Structure 1
Amino acid sequence: MDVAEAFASLMSPDGRVDPYPAYERLRAHGPIVQTGPGVYAVTGHAEADELLRDARVRVLDEHLRDGVLPNWRESPAVSSIARSMLRTNPPDHSRLRRLAAGAFTPRRINAMREVIEAQTDELIDAMTTAGRGGAPVDFMAEFAYPLPVGVICELLGVPADDRTLFRRWTADLTGILEPEITAAELAVADAGAAELRAYFTELVATRRRRPTDDLTTALVQAHEAGDRLSGDELLANLVILLVAGFETTTNLLGNGLAVLLAHPRAADVLRQHPQHAPAYVDELLRFDSPVQLTTRLNAESVRLGGVEVPAGSWILLLLGAANRDPRRYPRPEQFDPWRAQLNPLSFGAGPHYCLGAALARLEAQVAFPALLRRLPALALGGQLRRRIRLTLRGYDHLPVTVGEPLPAEQDGTPAGAATGSP
């Protein structure tokens, strides 16, 4: 299969549901391949890692976007993403990231452990109630979504009663992150973005009247300070912090549980030895990344992997493929939490490394051991259904049966006792 056919198979609905065969077809032509005029795809781990850190390689910010899509400001979805830290370059990116970074320090994240443990146990209790008598429970709706959305909303100061609103809005908005999007899909993304912006406009007004100790208040105060944060940047970054704060973790939890249930011996080791959770989570991130790709433009010509990438090229960094590069990971198609080196690129690298990566890891490190220990008979309970998305890879529906549960304090092991490494 030539490069064009391999790339077409990746962009097809089947390729989006299961991209790994298409990645291997592309990889057969080299770690960097030209897939079209001015478009290059990267499957190599070393090459993707280097490009993510290269100052000559930039995200499509609003200034660069003007030359590609002059009417982008008319789209609520595009403008919400374009004015966020996700789509800004230095020095603006450094300024925006610094304003939000205080909520993601190691001290603040460690302080969230008890909140995550408590929410994990509450959600497992709710799953056992819903699953009595063997009734299937949708893990995505009952656990994988509410845990991370509760955590990020706690940081942002979003009232608990409002948290159910976000799943559809964000699912609609994130369609804009796909490498190809139809006019109908853009309209859906625009509607989701408009709902989110309206919600945060109201929350910002509330925080101006009644400041509290949350990230929304901190960003509002940065805006009030003058040139540190514009009004458009304030709303765009609140939206992206919410979306990024749970979409990736929701997919990590869903993808990860499906992998663990397909590997019962490995799951049993984690059940008995929760201290190995950090290694398990890193391998789950590598094996089935919740973020499969990111895009860049190179301001200057770049030569890498034996390929000259001319200035102004689109570069598709296929993170899911890089995480299965056999030059770095022997037998990459096997789930193996005992690998000597991991460093998956699921959260990116360089200046755009995911701000909330440590928080997402902590949520998964708490959740998986607790689920496996408290629900020893946890099993798939029906047909799994993938989202037809490539950039954000996850499930729409993941039915499970919970069996006979154990109480949270059964063996004296806290739900989140997941520190250390193998």
Structure 2
Amino acid sequence: MGVATTPTYDRRSAVSLFSRLRTPRGQADPYPIYAELRERGGVSPAPWGGSIVTSFDVCDQILRSRDWLEPDKEWRARQGPGTRWNAPSSREMSSTLPALNPPDHTRVRRAAGTFDRNTVQQIGRTVSRVTTELLDSLAERLRDGEANFSALVSDELPIATIGDWLGLPSEDWPRLRQLTHDQVFTQELLPSASQLALSDAATAELRSYFMDLVRRRRANPGEDPVSRWIQTWDTLEQDRDKADEAVYFLALFVMLAALETTSTLLSIMTLLLVERPAQWELLTAHPELVPAFVEETLRYDPPTHVISRVASQDCLLEGVEVRRDEMVHLLVGAAHRDPARHSDPDEFNPLRQPGHIAFSGGIHYCLGAPLARLEAQTLLHQLILRLPRLTLVRRPTWAPRVAFRRLLNLDVALA
């Protein structure tokens, strides 16, 4: 493991860097700040405690190792009643799949199932149909001038896809989408009190919605994932109330994961395309490069920029001492631009050898990764085939977040 070293650390300048990261300018382009953080070493102390990791190799190692744990329910309780980890929304999230450690994680992941080939093909038909409909609406709007791609397409495709799969009424989709935007603040790097309050309220409403859904599906089961999860959990849990709650947590997790990060992926992918006319021409001539373009988008500017883990034992990371129970924040966005992993990391190049950790890694590798790729590739294929090149009308604005990126607008017009 090596010998512990004392990293050069100026707390005041570190606080300044993270303060800049939380500004609109820092949220629009965090990469110069990441570069300054990387100059402090691949692992450095976080101003609020724990460590920050910007090295791709160290991030990858932590994600793949079972020595690093999720901040689960027990860990959050140990942080004390006055901390953000014990906000109602945080406690609720601690029972969802991404916050579980083995053996609980193993049990719930098996119960969730996977997006196998047949499921992906079934969902793919919905994705293709909805994408066509959304681009029809976009094209009509563009005939009158500019249009907000994020609102008309990126936000709509994920909720239509997952809403149809779960069998949720379409009239509920707009509210669920807004609740998801609010709920994600509890998973942010440093949420404010007002953001946590939004998240707490959204989480309570989502719990009411999905628990009611589970009860209705139990009374009238159908050929849908929620009904199948009820059948599965009835074989795993004798207490029916506990079984229903387990199904609720699965449905909540699927909704949150499918909407927020996928819509951001679609918007960032399209932004990168319209900013680079040569790339549009390249894809039009070589549509077989669409999957590579999506993967490079995930590397170049991933939807999630921070993943957190907790040390299960004392250890050293690149000579930095980390104590048991301490948290490390993996700056995925910074790791993806690590020059030790990628040459010319600040260049967007879909022809490069792919390599990213946008979907995490190890036992917590993203369950919905096939679905996110399906939506992104389907949209990109249709964009380059159906529309003449789009142009950016104005620079987008970004939501006040660090970990979970989100474009508030992507205003485009026909070139």
* Alignment-derived partner of residue 409 in structure 1: none
Aligned partner of 2:40 among 18, 22, 29: 29
Query: Would you say 1:270 and 2:283 are equivalent positions?
Result: yes
Q: How does 1:21-420 map to 2 (within 5 A)?
A: 21-36=32-47, 38-70=49-81, 75-102=87-114, 104-134=115-145, 136-227=146-237, 230-340=243-353, 342-402=354-414
* More displaced stretch, 177-186 vs 154-163: 154-163
* More displaced stretch, 249-258 vs 110-119: 110-119
SS where residue 327 of structure 1 aligns?
A: coil
Are the counterparts in 2 of residues 380 and 399 from structure 1 also a CA contact under 8 Å?
yes
Unaligned runs of 5+ in 1: 404-422
Matched to 1:374, the amino acid is R
Q: Give the root-mean-square deviation of aligned CA atoms.
A: 2.0
Are the counterparts in 2 of residues 76 and 190 from structure 1 also a CA contact under 8 Å?
yes
SS where residue 408 of structure 2 aligns?
A: strand
Matched to 2:121, the amino acid is N
Alpha-carbon distance between aligned partners in 2 of 1:353 and 1:197, rounded to the nearest angstrom: 25
* Alignment-derived partner of residue 413 in structure 1: none
SS where residue 113 of structure 2 aligns?
A: helix
Are the counterparts in 2 of residues 17 and 388 from structure 1 also a CA contact under 8 Å?
no
Tell me the TM-score normalized by structure 2: 0.91
Alpha-carbon distance between aligned partners in 2 of 1:56 and 1:175, rounded to the nearest angstrom: 27
Q: Given the superposition, is the C-alpha separation of residues 74 and 329 from structure 1 closer, same or farther in structure 2, using an over 3 Å criterion? A: closer
Q: Given the superposition, is the C-alpha separation of residues 351 and 282 from structure 1 closer, same or farther in structure 2, using an over 3 Å criterion? A: same
Alpha-carbon distance between aligned partners in 2 of 1:168 and 1:37, rounded to the nearest angstrom: 30
Shift of 1:92: 0.5
Q: Given the superposition, is the C-alpha separation of residues 111 and 231 from structure 1 closer, same or farther in structure 2, using an over 3 Å criterion? A: closer
Shift of 1:19: 1.7
Are the counterparts in 2 of residues 7 and 22 from structure 1 also a CA contact under 8 Å?
no
Unaligned runs of 5+ in 2: 1-7
Alpha-carbon distance between aligned partners in 2 of 1:74 and 1:61, rounded to the nearest angstrom: 11
Alpha-carbon distance between aligned partners in 2 of 1:358 and 1:23, rounded to the nearest angstrom: 29
* More displaced stretch, 16-25 vs 85-94: 16-25
Q: Given the superposition, is the C-alpha separation of residues 252 and 73 from structure 1 closer, same or farther in structure 2, using an over 3 Å criterion? A: closer
Q: Given the superposition, is the C-alpha separation of residues 330 and 32 from structure 1 closer, same or farther in structure 2, using an over 3 Å criterion? A: same
Query: Would you say 1:9 and 2:9 are equivalent positions?
Result: no
Matched to 1:149, the amino acid is I
SS where residue 317 of structure 1 aligns?
A: strand
Are the counterparts in 2 of residues 17 and 390 from structure 1 also a CA contact under 8 Å?
no
Alpha-carbon distance between aligned partners in 1 of 2:411 and 2:48, rounded to the nearest angstrom: 43
Are the counterparts in 2 of residues 3 and 29 from structure 1 also a CA contact under 8 Å?
no
Tell me the TM-score normalized by structure 1: 0.90
Shift of 1:10: 2.9
Are the counterparts in 1 of residues 166 and 224 from structure 2 also a CA contact under 8 Å?
yes
Matched to 2:153, the amino acid is F
Aligned length: 400
Shift of 1:335: 0.2
Alpha-carbon distance between aligned partners in 1 of 2:99 and 2:152, rounded to the nearest angstrom: 32
SS where residue 397 of structure 1 aligns?
A: coil
Alpha-carbon distance between aligned partners in 2 of 1:125 and 1:57, rounded to the nearest angstrom: 47
SS where residue 338 of structure 2 aligns?
A: coil
Matched to 1:158, the amino acid is L
Matched to 2:376, the amino acid is A
Shift of 1:37: 6.4
Matched to 1:358, the amino acid is P
Shift of 1:76: 3.8
Shift of 1:27: 0.6
Are the counterparts in 1 of residues 310 and 327 from structure 2 also a CA contact under 8 Å?
yes
Alpha-carbon distance between aligned partners in 1 of 2:393 and 2:401, rounded to the nearest angstrom: 23
SS where residue 51 of structure 2 aligns?
A: strand
Alpha-carbon distance between aligned partners in 2 of 1:154 and 1:69, rounded to the nearest angstrom: 40
Shift of 1:257: 0.8
Matched to 1:53, the amino acid is R
SS where residue 149 of structure 1 aligns?
A: helix
SS where residue 225 of structure 1 aligns?
A: helix
